[in-house]
Amino acid sequence: MTVDRRINKSKTALKEALLILMENKDYNKITITDIVNISNLNRGTFYKHYQTKEELLEELIGEVIADLIRSYREPYLQKSKLEISDLSSSSIKIFEHVYLYGKFYKIIIHSNALPGFQSKICQVLKNLVLQDLSTKNDLNKNINPEIFSSYFAYAIFGIIVEWVDQNFSYTPTYMSEQLIRILSYTTIIT
């Protein structure tokens, strides 16, 4: 089933308006009137797609998380086992994802607009690592998979936070190259 372009355009405008408002205003003080005014749409259009601003935000968060999962999994798609030496900056998509949703990540990192969302992202990353470990069974038997997956998830998120704090001063390709170098370096020292 294909979605009408007008529907996509309206939903995108509403999500973008919500993000613009969240950059400058406490989420709890944002009204549907604010959202439709910024998006240059009417209330009827809003209510055609969403019942509440929370529903709009939930859909936006769902899109971000789905794309985060897709971008994380990208280097693994054609491989049964992924070696660090197999990685290239073009195969790592997580930084392209963060750059694409840059406004969203700036909001969650620099404000309390979405309390707990940073932990939610880390939990998603942790679960992805745990799933990879359970299917590949490559982890040293002396390393606790829960602790390892937490280490990896929070390390990746820490790199993302640093990049956002530097206002995306490096390209996604550069960040991917740095991640490969970091992973290679930590493999050497462990």
pLDDT surpassing 90 at residue 45:
yes
Burial 111-140 (b: 16+ CB within 10 A, else e): eebbeebbeebbebbbebbbebbeeeeeee
Q: Model-level pTM?
A: 0.83
The answer, yes or no, to whether residue 57 has pLDDT greater than 50, is yes
pLDDT, mean of residues 75-103: 74
Q: What is the pLDDT of residue 22?
A: 92
Q: How confident is the model at residue 190 (pLDDT cuts 50, 70, 90)?
A: very low
pLDDT digits (tens, 9 = 90+) for 125-145: 999 888 877 666 566 778 888
Q: How far is CA 31 from the centre of its chain?
A: 25
- Lowest-confidence pick of 1-5, 109-113, 173-177, 185-189: 185-189
Q: How far apart are CA 153 and CA 31, in angstroms?
A: 34
Instruction: For the chain, give the longest Cα–Cα distance.
Output: 59
H-type alpha helices, 74-169 = 94-100, 102-110, 117-136, 145-165
Mean pLDDT of all residues belonging to the chain:
86
Mean pLDDT of all residues in 85-109? 84
Confidence of residue 184 (pLDDT cuts 50, 70, 90): confident
Q: How far apart are CA 29 and CA 27, in angstroms?
A: 5
Q: Which residues are within 8 A (CB) of 105 and not within 5 positions of it... i.e. 6 or more apart?
A: 98, 160, 164
